[in-house]
Amino acid sequence: MTDHIRTQQVALKTPSGFLAFGFGSGLAPVAPGTFGTLAAIPPYLLFTQLSWPLYALVLLVTFLLGIYLCDKTSQNLGVHDHGGIVWDEFVGFWITLFMIPLTWYWLLLGFVLFRFFDIVKPFPIKWLDKKVKGGFGIMIDDVIAGLFAWAILMVVVRFVG
């Protein structure tokens, strides 16, 4: 069985793989992280209906679930942090938008900031990405990227918005 077929089977035919691959968005042939971040928008639109404490609880639960999903999917694929695993992008992007007013321009700026930090990986993001293994390792660099993007977005919203 080729790696491509195995990846598709794990991503589309196992519950953990389906979620870890962002409902299939991580199977995009180019820029799966960007496609995964885009696929995180519809659930985010549902989360905006929640109070901030419930949204925070969703972030905690999806982070903890992500540790499991990413670890299990990595093991099933035999590859640590396969590029198609995008649940970490989902959670990082949802962190970026925590308590941010729902407008198209804040959503767009949040998207750009999160993708910037996820791609460039300034310290300590790159260090965590290289040194921390398992599901927690897959998740934590995107959580920190989300926190960096959120901090900047909060400042911009506060002083511009």
Number of domains comprising the chain: 1
**pLDDT digit string (tens) for 89-105?**
999 999 999 999 999 99
Give start and end residues of each alpha helix (H) in the chain. Answer: 3-13, 15-20, 32-39, 41-47, 52-77, 87-96, 104-120, 125-131, 134-160
If pLDDT is split at 50, 70 and 90, which confidence band does 1 have? low
- Mean pLDDT in residue range 27-32: 92
**pLDDT digit string (tens) for 2-15?**
787 878 887 778 99
Q: Which domain holds residue 27?
A: 3-160
